[in-house]
Amino acid sequence: MKTFDYTITDALGIHARPAGVLAKTAKALDSEVTITKGEKTVGASMLMMLMSLGVKQGDTITVTIKGGDEEKSYQAMKDFLEKNL
């Protein structure tokens, strides 16, 4: 299991467009990816659940990667977040 924290820099936070791309990216990985904000954890491949987190600019999320090729999945998620959110 690998985890990392990321602080959202996008002015709109995790809104519809990037949430959709994030879910699609997570779904393509062979690892299980979850995102936690506060006390709530959701599967990163579930668009509506991602939206329900209400992540805004300045919020810190925790990304957890389990199973499969964790290193490749870790890097893919980290790269996505840094480029898009």
d(CA 59, CA 50): 14
The single residue of 2, 6, 13, 15 carrying the catalytic annotation is 15
Residue 65: active-site member: no
Q: Following DSSP, what letter does each residue of 21-70 receive, concatenated?
A: HHHHHHHHSSSEEEEEETTEEEETT-HHHHHHT---TT-EEEEEEESSSH
Catalytic positions: 15
